[in-house]
Amino acid sequence: MTFVSHPRIVPDTVEERRYQTAMVQGCLKNNTLVILPTGLGKTVVAVRVAAEYLSAGKILVLAPTKPLVDQHRGSFSEMLVGVKVGEMNGNMKPETRSGIIDKCDVVVSTPQSVANDLEAGRYDLERFSLVIYDEAHRGVGNYAYVKVAPFCRKETRCVGMTASPGSDTSKIEQVCINLRLRRIDIRSDEDPDVSPYIHYTFVNRIEVNIPQDIQDITALLRSMLDHFVSEMVGLNLVRPGWQVSTSYMLTIGQNLQMRLARGEKTAIVYRGLALHSICIKLLHAIGLAETQGVTPLRVYLEKVEAEADQKEGGKSSREIVRRPEYVGVRTIVDRTNVEHPKVSRVLSLVSRVIDGGRGSKVIVFAQYRDTCEMLTQKLSSVPGARVGMLVGQSNGGLKQKEQVALLDGFRHGDYNVIVSTSVGEEGLDVSSTDAVVFYEPVSSEIRTIQRRGRTGRKNDGEVYVLVAKNTLDEVLERSSAEKERAMRERLERLSDELSRGSSPVLKKNQTRLDGF
C-alpha cells in the first residue's frame, strides 16, 4: 500500500488512491462539487485539499449536524500535522466562537452559527483560504450554507462534497450557483479507478403481510377518512374520485391558506381548513398502523385525545374522537396483543447478524421516534444485543455530547445495535457496520442512499428493507427507486458532458457564475 507524502499530512495515514488524487487536483484548480459514493473517502479529499491551502490561510469546514462536526474535527486532527483544529456550534457563546476563529488553523462548525456570526459582524472570512461544504446538496433555499457563501472572498477556494445530490438537475445547478462551485467532479462505483475499492452492499427486500387486527383498524380509519373527504367534495374542495394522499391534502391546505390570505374569510374556507386538518391526522394514523405498528399508533392516538381535551383549539381532534369508528379503533388498539410483523423480523435479523460473527454490528433506521423507542425496548431482549438509540435533540432527545458518546460507544463495541431516526443517516462514518435495516422505505432517494451507505464501507454489507404489502410502504419504495434511477442517469449524462468540456448545468447562468 502506498501512502500520501505531504509535509502537512501525518506519514503513513492516508492511502494514495488515484481517483482521490485526481479529485484533489481538480479542486485545487477550480471551485468544485465533489460527488463520490459513500465510504470512498470524501473526507480524505477534503483533508488533502486543506493541506495544500493551509499555507495561504485558515480553513473552514461546515457540516450540517453536530455529531458530523465532531467527526470531522477528529479526522482533520488525526491526519494533519502541526495544525490546531477547533470546533464550533450554536451552543457556544459568540465570543467563544470568535476566539476559536482567531486561534485555530482549521475551524469545523455547523453552518447556522457561522451564518449568524457573519451577519452580526462578529468576524469575517478574510483570513480563510478554503471553505468546505459537507453534504453540499443542502445548499439551496434558505439553508445556512447559502447565507455563508456570499461572505467568502472572490479568491477563496470553495469545495462542496456529497454522495447523493438528488435527481433534480436544476437543484444541482442551484447548489453550484449558491455555493460558487464552477465545476463538478463525479465518480461512480463503475469507474475503473474507483472499482478496486468498492465493497458490495447486498439489498434484501422483505415483504410482510398486515395482520387482521391492523387491517380492521385501518378499515375503520379509512371509513372515517372517506366521511370527511366526502364533505370536502361537497364543498368543491376535492375532486370526486381523486386519490387522497398526504401530499394531495397538503396542496389543498396551501390553496385554502392562499384563499384566506386574499381575504376570502368564508364559511367554506374555514370549514375546509378544519377538514384538511382532520384528514391529515387520519392519513398519519393510517400510515402508522400500516407501516409502523400498534404501539406507535397507540402513542399517536393518545396525543390526539389529549389535544381533544384542550379547551382552546383541538377542534379537529374532537371531531375525530367523537366518531363511532374511532371508538372501534380504540377498542381494537386497547385489546390486541398483535404487533406489526416487521417487529419480529427486525428482532430475528438483528439476532442473526450479531450471532454471525464476533464484533458484528447493526443499525436499524425508523422514521418515527416512537417507533425507535419501541424497537429499542424490544431489541434489548435479544440475547447478546447491546442497544443504543440515536435521535435528535428536539423534544427531550439526545444532546450533541450524548450523540457523539453513543456513536463512539458503537465504534468501540460498547453497543452492537443502534436504532436511529434520520439523524443517523447523513455522513456519519461508522465503518464496521455489518448490516442496515430499513424499518420502512423512504421516498427520498437522498435519504435512501445515505441509509444504505452506513454499511459496506470497510467490508461487504447487507441491507434489509421491510415492506408491508399493499400499503404506503410500496408507494414510497417505488418513488425512491424511480428518483434514484433518474439521479444516476442524469449524473452519468452530466459526467459525460463534463468530460467533453460542456455542461448544461453550468452553461445556464454561466454569467452569474462568472460574476462570483
Residues 44-99: tens digit of each pLDDT: 999 999 999 999 999 999 999 888 898 899 999 999 999 999 999 888 999 999 99
Q: Residues 325, 409: one domain?
A: no
The reported pTM is 0.74
* Burial of 382 (C-beta count, 10 Å sphere; 0-12/13-18/19+): middle
Half-sphere exposure of 36 (CA within 13 A, CB side): 28
Q: What are phi and psi of 463, to 5 degrees?
A: -120, 130
In three-state secondary structure terms, 64 is coil
Residue 61 lies in a domain: yes
Q: Is residue 4 part of a domain?
A: no
Domain count, the chain: 3
Q: Are residues 418 and 443 in the same domain?
A: yes
| Mean pLDDT, the chain, integer | 89
Grid coordinates given for 53: 491551502
119-128, 244-253, 428-437, range with greatest mean pLDDT: 119-128
Cα separation of 184 and 173, whole Å? 10
Q: What confidence score (pLDDT) does residue 509 get?
A: 41
**Most confident residue range from 72-76, 190-194, 404-408, 484-488:** 72-76
pLDDT of residue 516: 32
Q: Rounded CA gap, 471 and 218, in Å?
A: 10
Arithmetic mean of pLDDT, 425-439 = 73
270 part of a folded domain: yes
In a shared domain, residues 54 and 161: yes
Residue 371 lies in domain: 201-209+340-470
Domain boundary among 335, 369, 389: 335
Domain check: are 449 and 391 in the same one? yes
Q: Is residue 258 part of a domain?
A: yes
Q: Region 195-207: what's the mean pLDDT?
A: 82
In eight-state DSSP terms, residue 11 is T
Residue 431: pLDDT over 80: no
Does the pLDDT value for residue 206 go beyond 70?
Answer: yes
CATH number at residue 443: 3.40.50.300
**Residues 377, 402 within the same domain:** yes
Whether residue 357 is predicted with pLDDT greater than 90 in this model: the reply is no
Instruction: Give alpha helix (H) positions in 292-383.
Output: 294-308, 315-321, 324-335, 341-355, 369-379
The CA distance from 147 to 324, in Å, is 51
Which pLDDT value is given to residue 510?
A: 41
- Grid cell 415492506 is found at 467
Do 262 and 131 have their domain in common? no
For residues 259-269, average pLDDT: 94
Task: Show the cell assigned to 263.
Answer: 381575504
Per-residue b/e over 412-443, b at no fewer than 16 CB within 10 Å? eeebbbbbbbbbbbbbbbbebbbbbbbbbbbb
Name which of 226, 283, 286 is nearest 249 in CA terms.
283
Asked if pLDDT for residue 314 goes beyond 80, the answer is yes
- Do residues 390 and 466 both lie within one domain? yes
- pLDDT > 90 fraction of the chain, expressed in percent and rounded: 66
In-domain check, residue 284: yes
Q: What is the mean pLDDT of residues 154-163?
A: 95
C-alpha cell at 485: 434511477
* Confidence at residue 512, expressed as pLDDT on a 0 to 100 scale: 38
State the DSSP code for 37. Answer: -
pLDDT tens digits, residue range 7-28? 999 999 999 999 999 999 999 9
Over 50: is that where the pLDDT of 508 sits? no
| Residue 506 in this model has a pLDDT that exceeds 70 | no
Would the pLDDT of 150 be above 50? yes
CATH of the domain at 299: 1.20.1320.20
Q: Which of 318, 335, 352 is the C-terminal boundary of a domain?
A: 335
DSSP symbol at 206:
E
pLDDT in tens, 451-504: 776 665 556 678 899 999 999 999 999 988 888 888 777 777 766 665 565 555
Count of CB atoms situated within 10 Å of the CB of 10: 15
212 confidence band (pLDDT: 50, 70, 90): very high
Of 235-244, 329-338, 501-510, highest mean pLDDT = 329-338
Per-position b or e across 85-103, b if 16+ CB within 10 A of its CB: bbbbbbeeeeeebeebbee
Query: Within this chain, do residues 278 and 416 fall inside the same structural domain, yes or no?
Result: no
Q: Residue 476 in contact with residue 153, Cβ under 8 Å?
A: no
Answer yes or no: is 54 within a domain: yes
Q: Where are the alpha helices (DSSP H) in 1-110?
A: 18-29, 42-53, 66-79, 94-103
Any idea which of 119-123, 136-140, 432-436, 511-515 has the lowest mean pLDDT? 511-515
Are residues 280 and 389 both part of a single domain? no
**What are the respective helix, strand and coil percentages of the chain, to the nearest 5?**
55, 15, 35
Beta strands across the sheet bearing 32-35: 85-88, 106-109, 58-62, 128-134, 157-162, 32-35, 183-186
pLDDT of amino acid 515: 37
Q: Is residue 5 part of a domain?
A: no
Query: Do residue 239 and residue 161 come from a single domain?
Result: no
Mean pLDDT value across residues 124-146: 96
Return d(Cα 441, Cα 203) in angstroms, integer: 12
Letter for the amino acid at 229?
V
pLDDT exceeds 80 at position 426: no
Q: Identify whether 1 is part of a domain.
A: no
Type of residue found at 79:
M
163 and 260 share one domain: no
Amino acid at 198: I
Lowest mean pLDDT among 267-276, 324-333, 402-411: 402-411
Mean pLDDT of 258-266: 93
One domain, residues 42 and 31: yes
Instruction: Indicate the pLDDT class of residue 511, thresholds 50, 70 and 90.
Output: very low
Question: Which carries the bigger pLDDT value, residue 355 or residue 6?
Answer: 6
